[in-house]
Chain A
Amino acid sequence: MTAEYLLRRIGVFFLVIWGAATFNFILPRIADVNPIEERMSQLASRGAVTSGNTEAMIKHFEKRFGLDKPLLEQYVRYIWNFARFDFGFSIAFFPTQVRSVISQALPWTLVLVTMSSLIYMFLGMALGALVAWPGASRAFKLLFPPIMALSAIPYYLVGIALIHFFAFQLEWFPLGGGYTVGSSPGWDFDFYLDAAKHAILPALSIILVSIGFSAIGMRGMMVTTQGEDYMLLAEAKGAKSWRLFAWYGVRNAMLPQITSFALTLGHVVSGVILVEVVFGYPGIGTMLLQSIRNFDYTLLYGIVYLVILSIALATLILDLIYPRLDPRITYAPRS
């Protein structure tokens, strides 16, 4: 693989986010929906129109979208705004910027996704590797079937059950949310501890389900590495068994897991969004649900665009660091 691949890969990234932005632009227009009017009628039907706000809003949006301008100009302006992460005002929280609404929610989701992914990847690969390793304890083999059974169920359904048993009945964990209501989100230890307590069950529902995914792939690869010639030579060298396991087995078997993680990331994030909805976790997912319920189109489009962008970016980064893990792949031309 060469620099050409690198360029193509980055090209794909931009293509994806351009596609996402364009999709957001085109869809309301072909569906012939005017977000503002929709929203107004929605508010009117609830008898909740506050005239001052409404006029300012309508004025602002007409100007912003330049609905009187030619389509091409609207489009260019739209893409340019999205490229700068300028999604305008939230309809529901006018006059708050969509960007600032999202930036409150984003860290919660980012931390939840990253931590759970790291943990499940680690545990799953460890379990898969140990199940396939002849020297390992039988206990891992016993652990495998229940983990695999869990992997068939969507995260958030497991989440509901976790809430019932561990938050409602046993009261070990708080009933949803991201932090204790009333405590102001500050950056001190108590707040972190509180947030961690709230995060455990959501994270657990993601982890418990996902371990199976990475474990089964890892098990297969680990079986393969044991048949490889390099494993035989390593054994002939008299290498200690932990070295055989870690440096010859796991080190090689983990490479495809990283690729398949990149491929399933979109799936994982969709799941996490629903987990947040179940737990009322103050991240992107709950924000998304609110925007759906409020018909807050600007917020919704902003969220969807950012989620797609984040995943595309994460996939790109994984692709770019992959050669660091597998020396056989290099994006630079050979010297």
Chain B
Amino acid sequence: MTTAQPESQGSMLDTTIEHQEGSGFVRSLLAPFRWMRAYPTLWAGLFLLAFMVLFGIVGSQFVDPELARAGTVEIDLSPGQTVEYRVKGEDRSAFSVLGTDSQGRDVWAVTMLGTPLTIYVGFLAALIGMTIGTVLGFIGGFYGGIVDNFFKSFADMLITVPVLMILVVVAVTLKSSIDVTQQALIISAFVWMWPLRTIRAQVLSMRERAYISVAQISGANTLEVIFLEMLPNLLPFLAASLATAVATAMLTTIGMDALGLGPQNQPTLGNTIYWALFYSAPFRGIWWWWTPPVLALALVFGSLYLITAGLDPLANPRLRRQG
């Protein structure tokens, strides 16, 4: 009875689909689609995110990176014109879907190249932060003690501090120009707190529940317990934490960029916003400069929000009843 806990959680997820008909094989083939019906928000979020990533990665293959360099094309052209430009003495021309900015860059090219860069920073920082947070959360939840106390208190403190401020000090003091990967590494130092709290709380509550101790008594070692018993149950929490962490990390990276502290010479979405603000684009009505990065960011943030919201009923089955 006590060891049935993991299964019972699994079956809770399946209750919505258990009335479906069909052979086992067909069922398993269709499983993802039934999940889709059961979790439309989650899937909408995942699709949107996948679209944005593909959009950037595939799209950037079709743009001339030169167009994303300042001074390449004529400035302040409104969308839908053909631009002529020279690269190393060679004449080129391109159709400028979204116009050009006040620094002579093509906005379409900048957005295409910038979207995957910004998502990359967000994911890299979040993955590293999540790993730190999860490990600390497991250690804390399992062993408690001084180490747990220290990290828990430290996390609680750091959560109330405006992380952007600390990053500004770091970035300005170090001053040396950073690239996107370095930026992600710096940011990752500040996204582990929420995962730590979430995972630690879950580990503690799972330890309370009998099945973990049953597994321990039956001779499984700690790592087995973690990987075979606990992690599968924690997946929804981990996924939701990751989505939140990515959003936080992206918020931080574009925040740094918008203050002019981002990676130099890389057309991240945040940098585009920085330059648009630097040249007062919103006040001059050059909407085609700021709209694409803002829209791209809104879609990425929106997708992450949908993923988090969609995972909520999986992570907190209690909420499902209110549906």
Contact = CB atoms under 8 A, between A and B. Distances in A.
Interface of A: 12, 15-16, 19-20, 23-24, 27-28, 31, 33, 38, 148-149, 151-154, 156-157, 160-161, 163-164, 167-169, 175-176, 220, 223, 262-263, 265-267, 269-270, 273-274, 277-278, 288-289, 292-293, 295, 297, 300-301, 303-304, 307-308, 311-312, 315
Contact of A27 (B173, B251, B322): B173
Contacts of A297: 172-173
B258 A149 contact: no
Contacts of B285: 164, 168-169
A27 B298 contact: no
Given A27-B173, A151-B305, A262-B160, A304 B166 contact: yes
A168 B283 contact: yes
List the 10 closest A-B pairs by CB distance, nearest first: A152-B305, A270-B164, A266-B162, A163-B282, A152-B301, A270-B162, A304-B165, A157-B294, A175-B283, A153-B298
Given A16-B160, A168-B283, A266-B160, 20 more contacts: A31-B173, A33-B174, A151-B305, A152-B247, A154-B297, A154-B301, A157-B273, A157-B297, A160-B282, A163-B283, A220-B319, A263-B160, A270-B165, A273-B162, A273-B164, A274-B164, A274-B259, A289-B260, A304-B166, A315-B160
B108 interface: no
A148 to B, nearest CB: 8
A262 B161 CA distance: 11
A270 B163 contact: yes
Nearest to B308: A152
B40 to A, nearest CB: 13
B251 to A, nearest CB: 6
A311 B294 CA distance: 28
A223 B163 CA distance: 33
A137 B163 CA distance: 40
Interface residues of B, number: 43
B168 A288 contact: yes
Given A263-B160, A269-B162, A154 B251 contact: yes
A31 B174 contact: yes
A35 to B, nearest CB: 9
Contacts of A278: 258, 277, 282
Nearest to A163: B282
A278 B280 CA distance: 9
Interface string B137-175: 000000000000000010001011111111011101111
Contacts of A15: 157
A16 B169 contact: no
Given A164-B282, A277-B277, A300 B162 contact: no
Contacts of A31: 173-174
9 contacts: A33-B173, A152-B247, A160-B273, A160-B290, A265-B160, A270-B165, A273-B165, A304-B169, A307-B162
Contacts of A304: 165-166, 168-169
Most buried by B among A19, A149, A270, A315: A270
A47 to B, nearest CB: 20
A31 B321 CA distance: 54
Contact of A274 (B160, B163, B255, B301): B255
Dominant secondary structure at the B interface: helix
Contacts of B170: 27
Given A278-B277, A293-B260, A300 B283 contact: no
A300 B168 contact: yes
A185 B157 CA distance: 38
Contacts of B277: 160, 277-278
A38 B175 contact: yes
A295 B261 CA distance: 12
B301 A153 contact: yes
Given A153-B302, A262-B160, A292 B259 contact: yes
Given A266-B160, A300-B172, A312-B160, A23 B166 contact: yes
Contacts of B165: 270, 273, 303-304, 307-308
Contacts of B174: 31, 33
Given A152-B305, A153-B302, A154-B301, A301 B169 contact: yes
A176 B175 contact: no
A160 B294 CA distance: 9
Nearest to A220: B319
B304 A152 contact: yes
Contact of B173 (A28, A266, A274): A28
Contacts of B247: 152
A164 B260 contact: no
Nearest to B165: A304
Interface string B259-298: 1110000000000010011000011110100100010011
Nearest to B194: A263
A312 B259 CA distance: 23
B225 to A, nearest CB: 31
A311 B162 contact: yes
B194 to A, nearest CB: 10
A152 B302 contact: yes
Contacts of A295: 172, 175
Given A168-B285, A266-B163, A24 B298 contact: no
A38 B284 CA distance: 34
Given A270-B255, A300-B169, A304-B166, A223 B322 contact: yes
Contacts of A274: 164, 255, 258-259
